[in-house]
């Protein structure tokens, strides 16, 4: 009993979710997809340079001394082999940067890095709204930007970056992200129609069988998802892991790729 408890503490992975406004983390129970403790959040440093962000992550990790396993870290940009290639809503110092190498050196333990929406999608497909769903599933996160994760029969095609697709002459995330709703003080109906227009373009491109909408707004799905579904002519559901999906997906990805 004691031995297995010690063993599970040693193996417990941590998920860290880097966002434009906050960096969040928690240890994750991979058997259930639940957080093992309350998540911790620290405001994203400004400017959000790699060293400053790595220091915040170090601080976050120190809050969970019981979780000694590998660490999965999400980043809002294209990631290839631990390297951050783009940074639309973060400091330009991340562009073409060896992020995993920096984090591994600063934390002194194995680290895997992946796109934030891909992480949220992985978690929803395993534990949430996409569980057991075959065919084409598109997960979207509506926050500071629009993130996308595309799955075929449960397998991820990473780095799709649909938030930067042009819709009627403008980047999708400039039309319909959660940030745009706040900045323009849009009501749910008006913003829902903006999301619907964008999602209808994605649906025309990909003919998905299911669209999952995540991000902070997913808890308010009843206020805008019906109009989105009508415009996209595709089943649209709210994510189930809500704000935790990125953390859970990061931990899952790290444990799959590092162990
Ligand atoms: C970034 C994506 C990210 C999305 C959501 C976009 O601006 O380019 O990589 O997934 O925001 O954070």
In a domain, 125, yes or no: no
Q: For 45-58, how does the pLDDT look when each residue is reduced to its tens digit (9 = 90+)?
A: 999 999 999 999 99
Q: How far is the CA of 10 from the centre of ligand 1 (A)?
A: 32
Instruction: Say if residue 234 is in the same domain as residue 164.
Output: yes
In a domain, 95, yes or no: yes
Residue of minimum CA distance from atom 6 in ligand 1:
145
Instruction: Say if residue 167 is in the same domain as residue 87.
Output: no
Average confidence (pLDDT) over 117-124: 98
Instruction: Say if residue 43 is in the same domain as residue 107.
Output: yes
Residue of minimum CA distance from atom 11 in ligand 1:
145
Mutate to test the pocket of ligand 1, among 147, 164, 214 (most ligand atoms within 8 A of CB): 147
Which two tokens mark 68? 């000694």
Is 218 in contact with 242 (CB distance < 8 Å)? yes
Domain that holds residue 36: 2-118+245-258
Instruction: Say if residue 75 is in the same domain as residue 176.
Output: no
State the closest ligand 1 atom to the C-alpha of 163, by its place in the atom list counted from 1: 6
In a domain, 53, yes or no: yes
Its sign, for the CA torsion 115, 119, 125, 130, is: negative
In a domain, 64, yes or no: yes
> pTM (2 decimals)?
0.95
How many distinct structural domains can be found in the chain? 2
Instruction: Say if residue 170 is in the same domain as residue 252.
Output: no
In a domain, 47, yes or no: yes
Residue of minimum CA distance from atom 7 in ligand 1:
145
Alpha helix segments (H runs only) across the chain: 2-11, 50-62, 99-107, 116-127, 172-176, 178-183, 188-206, 221-232, 245-258
State the closest ligand 1 atom to the C-alpha of 141, by its place in the atom list counted from 1: 5
Distance of CA 92 to the CA centre of its chain: 20
Instruction: Say if residue 251 is in the same domain as residue 217.
Output: no
In a domain, 188, yes or no: yes
In a domain, 123, yes or no: no
At 184 the three-state DSSP class reads: coil
Please compute, for residue 50, the number of CA atoms within 13 A of its CA located in the half-sphere on the CB side. Answer: 20
Q: For 146-192, how does the pLDDT look when each residue is reduced to its tens digit (9 = 90+)?
A: 999 999 999 999 999 999 999 999 999 999 999 999 999 999 999 99
Which two tokens mark 197? 């227009």
Task: Find the helix or strand (DSSP H, E) in which 157 lies.
Answer: strand 155-157
Residue 161 in contact with ligand 1 by CB distance below 6 A: yes
Q: How far is the CA of 34 from the centre of ligand 1 (A)?
A: 24
If you search the block for the tokens 């619907």, which residue do you land on? 196
Instruction: Say if residue 110 is in the same domain as residue 169.
Output: no
In a domain, 126, yes or no: no
Instruction: Say if residue 57 is in the same domain as residue 107.
Output: yes
Kindly give, in sequence order, each residue whose CB lies less than 8 Å from that of residue 23, ignoring residues fewer than 6 positions away. Answer: 16, 17, 41, 42, 43, 44, 53, 56, 57, 60
| CATH number of residue 225's parent domain | 3.30.420.40
At 136 the three-state DSSP class reads: strand
Residue of minimum CA distance from atom 9 in ligand 1:
77
Q: For 215-243, how does the pLDDT look when each residue is reduced to its tens digit (9 = 90+)?
A: 888 889 999 999 999 999 999 999 999 88
Distance separating alpha carbons of residues 100 and 69, to the nearest angstrom: 16
Instruction: Say if residue 145 is in the same domain as residue 234.
Output: yes
């Amino acid at each position: 009993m004691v031995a297995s408890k010690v063993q599970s503490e040693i193996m417990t992975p941590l998920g860290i979710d880097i966002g434009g406004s906050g960096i969040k983390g928690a240890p994750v129970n991979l058997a259930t997809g639940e957080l093992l403790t309350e998540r911790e959040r620290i405001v994203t440093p400004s400017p959000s340079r790699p060293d400053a962000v790595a220091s915040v992550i170090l601080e976050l990790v120190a809050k969970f001394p019981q979780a000694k396993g590998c660490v999965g870290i999400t980043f809002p940009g294209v990631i290839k082999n631990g390297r951050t290639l783009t940074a639309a809503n973060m400091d330009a110092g991340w562009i073409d940067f060896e992020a995993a190498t920096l984090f591994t050196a600063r934390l002194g333990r194995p680290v895997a890095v992946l796109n934030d929406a891909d992480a949220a999608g992985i978690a929803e497909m395993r534990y949430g709204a996409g569980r057991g769903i075959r065919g084409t599933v598109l997960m979207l996160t509506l926050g500071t930007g629009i993130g996308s994760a595309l799955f075929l029969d449960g397998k991820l095609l990473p780095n799709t970056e649909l938030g930067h697709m042009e819709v009627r002459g403008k980047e999708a995330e400039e039309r319909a992200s959660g940030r745009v709703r706040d900045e323009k003080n849009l009501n749910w109906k008006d913003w829902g129609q903006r999301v619907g227009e964008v999602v209808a373009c994605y649906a025309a491109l990909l003919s998905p069988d299911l669209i999952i909408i995540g991000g902070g707004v997913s808890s308010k799905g009843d206020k805008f998802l019906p109009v989105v579904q009508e415009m996209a002519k595709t089943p649209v559901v709210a994510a189930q892991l809500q704000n935790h999906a990125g953390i859970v997906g990061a931990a899952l990805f790290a444990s799959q790729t590092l162990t």
